[in-house]
Structures are given as C-alpha cells and as structure tokens.
Chain A
Amino acid sequence: MDIVFQFGPVFKRMDLIIDGVTMTIQVALLSTFLGFLIGIICARIRIEGSKKAKFVVACYVEFIRNTPFLVQLFMFAFGLPQFVALLGFNIRPSPYYLAIIALSINLGAYSTEIIRAGLEAIPKSQIEAAQGLALTPFQIFSRISLPPAIAKVYPALSSQFILHMLGTSVISTISVQELTLSAGRIQSETFRAFESYFIVTAIYFALAIAFRIIFKLAARFALPWLHKTTNRS
C-alpha cells in the first residue's frame, strides 16, 4: 500500500497558519503576564500573609494543580457564562477572554509554587539589612526579595512558560482561533489531517526552541549580576 503525503494543499492555507501562530503567541504572552502576576502576589501571601489568606491561597494552588486544565477551561467556558446569567447579567464573554482567564489562573497556581521557592531561598539577613535602611515592607518585597528570587527560579519559570505555551493548544476546544484550531480548519478543508497537524506540530516545536533561546539571551541582558563574578581584586 502507498502512503502519499501531500503538504501542498496545507501550505496553500498559510494565512490561516500565520493567524494561528499570532494568536497562540498573543494568548501565551498575555496569560503568562497575568499568571506570573498572580503567582507573585500569591507567593507573597504564602510567605508573609495571615493564616486565613495562606489557607485560601493553598486551596487555590492545590485545586488547580490537582485537576486537569481541560476541566478548568470548561468550567470557565461553560460554567462562568451560566453563573453570570444566574446573577442576572446578559453578557456572553468571548471564548478568547474566557481562555485567557482560565490560562492565567492555571499558570498562576504553578508559578506561585515556583516563586515561593525562590522567595524562601532569600536569606533573612538581606531583609534585615533592608529593614535597617528603613525601607517599607512593600519596598523590601519588590526591591530586595523579589528580584533575586525571580533570578533564582528563572530556569524553572522559563520551562513553565514553554509548557504553558504548548498547553494553549487545548483552548482550541472552546473555539479560540489559535494554531491548533487552524490545523483543524485546514484539515477539514483539505482532508489532509496528518499533514496539517504535522506542520503545526513543527511550528510549535520551532516556537518552543525559539522561546528557549530568547529566555537564555534575555537572562544575559536582564540579569547581568548573575554572570559577573570574576575579576575580584
């Protein structure tokens, strides 16, 4: 039996693929920004919050980390509109926004744990030095604790971003027009399912590699103090 691969028809719909890539990157970056923000806030609460607040954050983190993202996504996609309707509002949030919310909240839980580990590694004496200089608790957190903490867990955060970016393919299930859905549309037009998904998979692969390189380079520019340990005199 002959297997004939036909990539030609797929390449004819390059426009769809480019739209998909754009949307995937956009969704990944936006939800990562929000997710890391949630992570930073929740990590701070887990370190120095009140008992109640710590408990609430722990519940959030454990719930997200121990249920599939697909369930969380459907909760926001189908559950949230139902909930909003129950409250008497007549709004239908678009799948795009629902996906961003679900992705951010999901990443927020994972990054909380990563950033917390970084914060726990900051020596107490650093904080005392900052207290001795009369800095406020917020200044101490944002200027003294957080930057070295982030630097410490930078590799973990970068891999989390890659996993997260790849994970955005799941939002195709609620019809967000990203890369995976582009493949779905192309295969339904061309009937070349394998070829469509093959090309799109290759693009995800390239994106992952590209982002890894970007993160390595970014570290050199953004974290110069990690690399300058030579020429002591």
Chain B
Amino acid sequence: MSIIKINNLSKSFGNLEVLYNISFELEAGESLVLLGRSGSGKSTLLRCLNGLERVNTGDITVAGHKMDYESSKLRLLRNDVGIVFQQYNLFPHLTVAANIALAPRLVRKVSKSDALTLAKEVLGQVGLLEKIDAYPSQLSGGQQQRVAIARSLAMKPKVMLFDEVTSALDPELTGEVLDVMEKLAKSGMAMVVVTHEMAFAKKVSDRVIFLHNGRITETGNPDEIFSSPKTPEFKTFLGAVG
C-alpha cells in the first residue's frame, strides 16, 4: 500500500517553474531521500507534501488524504504527517514537555496526564528524557532538533518529513540527530528526507530521488544509483558532494 502518491505535480512561483511533472510513490515503511543542489526544488517538493506550499497542478495523496487546501481538510492531513525543519522552530515560550504536549492536547484532545506520558515516551525515543522541563533556549542545537522530532512523533504520524534538519547544526552535533532518524527509519516509519548527508542516504534510505531544475532526473535504490549514476548531472553532483 502506498503511503504517498504523487501524480504529475507542477509548481511555479510566478513565471519561475520550480517543480515540473513530478510523479512518484512511496510504500509504507519506506524511507525516501531527496537529493539535489540548492534551488533544485527539493525543499519545495517536501513542503508540497503537507500543503505548506500549494501546487499548480497534479494530484497528491499522503497517508490516505487527498490534498485539499480547504483549511480543515488540510489539518486532517497534517494530523498524520509530521514535519521537522532546518531551524528547529521549537516554541521559545514553552518548556520541552509543553512543546511536545501542545498539539496532542489541542488537536487530538488528549488529556493532560496522557499528554505528559506521551511526551515522556517520545523524549525517550530521542534520548532526551532528562530535558523534559528545560526551555528551548537552554538546549544545544542538536538537542533542540531532537525535541522537534519528538514533538512531531507525539502526533503519531504515518509519515515524517525532514527538511534539511542537520544543515543548521555544527558538524559535531549532526550525528545525534541522524542517529535518531536512522532508528526511526528502522522502526518502519515512512519518511521523506531532504538532506546533504550522503552517508545517511546510502546507509538508511530505501530509495533516492535526484532532482535537477525541478525535474526528477534520476531515481532508484541507493545501491545501484550511487554506484552507477546514469545522467551527467547526477555524476557532477556526486562529484561535488564527495
């Protein structure tokens, strides 16, 4: 059963075409990595998947929801789709526990004590249980990003979207975040990851899509795509990122 199904997706900002005729499917439990140079449209594509960006044409179905920009339908979809950003975007005025409990309480109407249990559970998953009462400003970037992942997990999503989540981190802090994501992928969470971390793409992903100028230029499983790139664009890209 496919958890994401994209058909003929196109998007432009004014006259500038950023995504052109994108189609792909993702099976439940699979993890997909989107590669591409900056400006290739990979982040825009990811943001189309939970409706933060609106497409001009094309059909999108995510976690059983057909994309509909009517706000209440959009919220139903976002209920099942978690997203983590480059800038962690924790809410500065809320403690770690409150950051995590906020959406379950407001959206899913979970009771206060259940929300706290939930917060502890997901914080355990990202290994930050001891920071439950801290404020975001008291955490390192890597810890904030792990809390942001935990915050998404608390909504029990069917799909997780990661938008360059390690790009804003100091190199020595990326490992702890990637570890959490790897564990998540292994546990069978369907996820779409925009990243520059080649090692992660090679080791963790089930499938890779390479975007160039808003088009899917190359796609396949990591073993074959990295060992025998077909297009010159992907070869150049691999050469550049090492």
**B-contacting 9-mer, from A31-39, A110-118, A125-133, A211-219:** A125-133
Contact A224 B135 (CB under 8 A): yes
Contact B93 A232 (CB under 8 A): no
**What residues on A are CB-neighbors of B140 within 8 Å?**
232-233
CB distance from B83 to the nearest CB of A (A): 4
Binding site for A on B (CB under 8 A): 50, 52, 71, 75-76, 78-79, 81-83, 85, 87, 89, 91-95, 102-103, 106-107, 134-140, 148, 151-152, 155
**What residues on B are CB-neighbors of A136 within 8 Å?**
71, 75, 106
Question: Roughly how many angstroms separate A143 CA and B106 CA in the complex, as a whole number?
Answer: 10
**B-contacting 9-mer, from A10-18, A43-51, A144-152, A195-203:** A144-152
Scan residues 139-192 of chain A and give those whose CB is less than 8 A from a CB of chain B.
139, 143-144, 147-148, 151
Interface size in chain A (residues, C-beta < 8 A): 28
**What residues on B are CB-neighbors of A224 within 8 Å?**
135
Contact A232 B71 (CB under 8 A): no
Listed from nearest, the 3 A-B pairs whose CB atoms lie closest are A129-B89, A133-B103, A134-B78
18 A-B pairs (CB sep. < 8 Å): A125-B89, A126-B91, A129-B85, A129-B91, A131-B52, A132-B152, A133-B103, A133-B151, A134-B107, A135-B107, A143-B91, A143-B102, A144-B91, A151-B93, A225-B93, A225-B94, A225-B95, A229-B137
| Known contacts A139-B106, A230-B138, A232-B139; is-contact A133 B155 (Cβ 8 Å) | yes
Apart from A133-B78, A232-B139, what are 4 other A-B pairs with CB-CB below 8 Å? Answer: A131-B52, A133-B102, A133-B107, A147-B93
Contact A128 B89 (CB under 8 A): yes
A137 contacts partner chain B, Cβ-Cβ < 8 Å:
yes
Question: Roughly how many angstroms separate A147 CA and B99 CA in the complex, as a whole number?
Answer: 13
A231 contacts partner chain B, Cβ-Cβ < 8 Å:
yes
A127 and chain B: residue at smallest CB distance: B89
**What residues on B are CB-neighbors of A144 within 8 Å?**
91
B106 and chain A: residue at smallest CB distance: A139
Interface of A: prevailing SS: helix
**What residues on B are CB-neighbors of A143 within 8 Å?**
91, 102, 106
Which of B82, B138, B151, B152 has the most CB atoms of chain A within a 10 A radius of its CB?
Answer: B138
Contact of A228 among B78, B135, B155 (CB under 8 A): B135
Question: Roughly how many angstroms separate A92 CA and B155 CA in the complex, as a whole number?
Answer: 56
Question: Roughly how many angstroms separate A112 CA and B144 CA in the complex, as a whole number?
Answer: 33
Contact A225 B79 (CB under 8 A): no
**What residues on B are CB-neighbors of A130 within 8 Å?**
91
CB distance from B86 to the nearest CB of A (A): 9
**What residues on B are CB-neighbors of A151 within 8 Å?**
93
Contact of B83 among A123, A126, A132, A223 (CB under 8 A): A132
CB distance from A125 to the nearest CB of B (A): 5
B79 and chain A: residue at smallest CB distance: A134
Which of A126, A144, A225 has the most CB atoms of chain B within a 10 A radius of its CB?
Answer: A225
Contact A229 B78 (CB under 8 A): no
Scan residues 51-75 of chain A and give those whose CB is less than 8 A from a CB of chain B.
none
| Known contacts A125-B85, A131-B52; is-contact A228 B107 (Cβ 8 Å) | no
| Known contacts A126-B89, A151-B93; is-contact A228 B137 (Cβ 8 Å) | yes
Which of B52, B92, B134, B136 has the most CB atoms of chain A within a 10 A radius of its CB?
Answer: B92
Question: Roughly how many angstroms separate A129 CA and B138 CA in the complex, as a whole number?
Answer: 20
**What residues on A are CB-neighbors of B87 within 8 Å?**
123, 125
**What residues on B are CB-neighbors of A232 within 8 Å?**
138-140
**What residues on B are CB-neighbors of A147 within 8 Å?**
93
| Known contacts A133-B78, A136-B75, A229-B137; is-contact A128 B85 (Cβ 8 Å) | yes
A233 and chain B: residue at smallest CB distance: B140
Question: Roughly how many angstroms separate A230 CA and B155 CA in the complex, as a whole number?
Answer: 30
B78 and chain A: residue at smallest CB distance: A134
CB distance from B176 to the nearest CB of A (A): 12
**What residues on A are CB-neighbors of B92 within 8 Å?**
148, 225
